[in-house]
Structure 1
Amino acid sequence: MTVAANGTVGATEATTLVKEPAGPPAGWGARAGAFAIDVLVGLGVLATLMLVAWAAALRGWLWWVAVSAAAAVFLAVAVNRWLLPSISGWTLGRSVFGVAVVGRNGSRVGPWRLLLRDIAHLLDTAPLFVGWLWPLWDSRGRTFADLIVRTEASRVDGDRPDRRRLAGVVLVSAGVIALAGAGLGYLAIYRHELTIEQARQQIAVQGPKIVENTLSYDVANIDADFARARSLVTDGYRPELVAQQDTVRKAGPVDNDYWVTNSAVLTNTSDRAVMLLLMQGQRGAAPAARLITATVRADFEKSANGQWQVSNISVLAKPNPARQGGQ
């Protein structure tokens, strides 16, 4: 070290030990614009992707796509926000608006300090965002986070990287990713669930009528009624129904009229459904007609032409006959 006779440090050494103070404070609007490019755009894409992941089936293909894309976006934001400034002195947004985050003596800030600064921004947000507005009246344009980690956002009027074109590409790419995530969410989740709900409403209305027409027949029109019943069931269930109809013919048929008093859709997809039906009916003709009740489970499948058909009927509570008038 070179020391003058009066004990002061030489000019060359003083220049080495003392750095220039930070430049003039950056304007609030420039800081907000840089923050929007560096953080808010990425947060918007992350929010979209995480909503898709939350709505998708856990560990399904869409869940993995959304989570992987969100991880890539977070990594890009982290590298731009915390690593690049310590290497080149700039983030993408700050290079566009001419803002540099430096120490109080104008020195470059390392990545861990930048990370701590962003964490400290929680204190800017907690008191109704007052900390974000603090630069408007602070003499050095500092937020609460700047005060805590001893940094400042300075205006840079000189040469800086021209990254406006890159910023435009990033903004467009972020918009494309967000729209793609929203589109996948609509196609794979919302539209699928809407289709299932529409199918549920259809079978809730059509199912009871189909079962009534499958089980009901009139002796005077038994051939037409049996043919109608066979058209209402699937190819797989039709042989069983035909066998039941043959048994009825051999036993000597009587009028059999069923109607549904209550029903509920237990489960359904867009082309399959299971219903529970409480049924009442009348067997035989007056004056020997008997009232009957039964509880059945009906399985349905949608045919190639979009019509619901019975694929199975299981009797849970067998018909309970009783003569009219309580006899």
Structure 2
Amino acid sequence: MTAVLDADRTASTTESQDVHYAGWAARAGALAVDVLPAAAVVATMALLAFTTPLWGWLWWILTVTAALALVAAAMNRWALPSITGWSLGRSLFGIRVVTRSGAPAGSVRLLLRDLAHVLDTLALFIGWLWPLWDSRNRTFADLLARTEARRVAPPQRDVRRPAGIVLLVAALLCVAGSGLAYLVVYKHDRAVEAARTQIAAEGPRMVEQMLSYGAATMQPDFARSLDLATEAYRPLLAAQQQLVEKGGATTNEYWSTNSAVLSDPPVTPEKATMLLALQGQRGTDPKSLKFISATVRVEFQKSGDRWLVNSLIVLKKPTASEAGG
């Protein structure tokens, strides 16, 4: 009986001596290789999405890139160990996650283990430091998932090259995304500045032409005004012109005395809003000539290479005064 007990104790001691638990530094390195590349790509794409003006194609590029990075990280952490026995980071540092009995941890257990790492973080990061004094180098997640990270012989193939490629690809994606966003922002800012400059120069002249007409040239003047309007604004402008015709032919001439491109709503490469102060005169007879003034708010919209008036709102109705008054 004594011989049997001694044999069992010896076998247990030998088995315990054969198990080597992964150290904290090795586990941290493996986690960094597995998680940080994808985290960097996702964080970069999210930051760009929130800080740059987005169009449909750019939003899709950022979203798809972030999604692919998350899928790749998930496959590496949860699916690949079930196929090869390793994740990329663990193979690099010679670590394998197993159950307490030493059996390989399946994909579901690995997923639950990574989800349980939230507790390691919420506990003021104490769970991440727990392996420093735990006899089996376990985190809180290991305790909950009943897993252990053990040191084993690394795979025979050299995994440093794949790990380097992954890190390089992640870095290139971050740099490429940042460069693309910079080009988009730079191009957008240039286009906005060009739109502001064009409206500042062309806007007052367009409004003057739209509101000015002569009694003898009313029809061609009205046709010119309609050509300066967008399709959406043209019916309203035509109705206003019909009211003018019914009221009798009177020469009206306007010129801009002051104008400003508004920042609210913000200028875009296709839209801009301007505030104009106008003065003018009504009639041609010096004895009955009236001077008029008005303030208007005009919305411009770009159609092809042309700027057109999309809306004209009178903020201060025209006031008239006699020439001699």
Using structure 1 for the length normalisation, give the TM-score. Answer: 0.67
CA contact (8 A) 1:36 1:93 kept: yes
Q: CA deviation at 1:124?
A: 0.6
CA deviation digits over 1:63-115, x for unaligned, max 9? 33333333332222222211222333221111111222222233221111111
Q: Name the amino acid aligned to 2:256.
A: Y
> Partner residue of 1:136?
132
CA contact (8 A) 2:293 2:319 kept: yes
Q: Secondary structure at the residue paired with 2:278? A: strand
Matches within 5 A, 1:272-291: 272-283=270-281, 290-291=291-292
**Contact 1:95–1:162 (CA<8 Å) still a contact in 2?**
no
Distance apart, 1:206 and its partner CA: 4.0
DSSP 3-state at the match of 1:269: coil
**2-side partners of 1:57 and 1:273: how far apart?**
16
Match status 1:106 vs 2:107 = no
CA contact (8 A) 1:210 1:310 kept: no
CA contact (8 A) 1:291 1:323 kept: yes
- Identify the match of residue 256 of structure 2 among 258, 274, 277: 258
Which amino acid in the other structure matches residue 190 of structure 2? T
Of 64, 70, 76, the match for 1:68: 64
Verify the 8 A CA contact 1:298 1:310 in the aligned structure 2.
no
Distance 1:182 1:263 in 2: 31
Which range moves more in the overlay, 272-281 or 38-47?
272-281
In the other structure, the counterpart of 1:198 is 193
Match of 1:82 among 74, 78, 82: 78
- Alignment of structure 1 residues 148-159 onto 2, 5 Å: 148-157=144-153
CA distance 1:316–1:20, shift in 2 (3 Å): same
Distance in 2 between residues matched to 1:195 and 1:57, nearest whole Å: 15
Instruction: Mark the runs of 5 or more structure 1 residues left unpaired by the alignment.
Output: 218-232, 239-250
Note if contact 2:256-2:277 (Cα within 8 Å) is conserved in structure 1. Answer: yes
Identity of aligned residues (%): 38
Distance 1:88 1:302, change over 3 A: closer
| Separation (CA, whole Å) in 1 of partners of 2:254 and 2:104 | 91
TM-score normalised by length of structure 2: 0.68
Shift of 1:320: 2.3
Residues 174 and 313 from structure 1, CA distance in 2 versus in 1: closer, same or farther, beyond 3 angstroms? closer
Question: What are the residue-to-residue correspondences of 1:90-239 with 2, within 5 Å?
Answer: 90-157=86-153, 160-188=156-184, 190-199=185-194, 201-202=196-197, 205-206=200-201, 210=205, 237=228
Contact 1:208-1:277 at 8 Å conserved across structures = no
| 3-state SS in 2 of match to 1:320 | strand
How far the C-alpha of 1:118 sits from its partner, in A, is 0.3
Which 5+ residue runs of structure 2 have no aligned equivalent?
213-223, 230-248
Q: Which residue in 1 is equivalent to 2:294?
A: 293
What is residue 20 of structure 2 aligned with on the other side?
24
> Deviations 1:216-237 (Å, cap 9, x if unpaired)?
99xxxxxxxxxxxxxxx99x65
Whole-angstrom distance in 2 between the partners of 1:75 and 1:313: 46
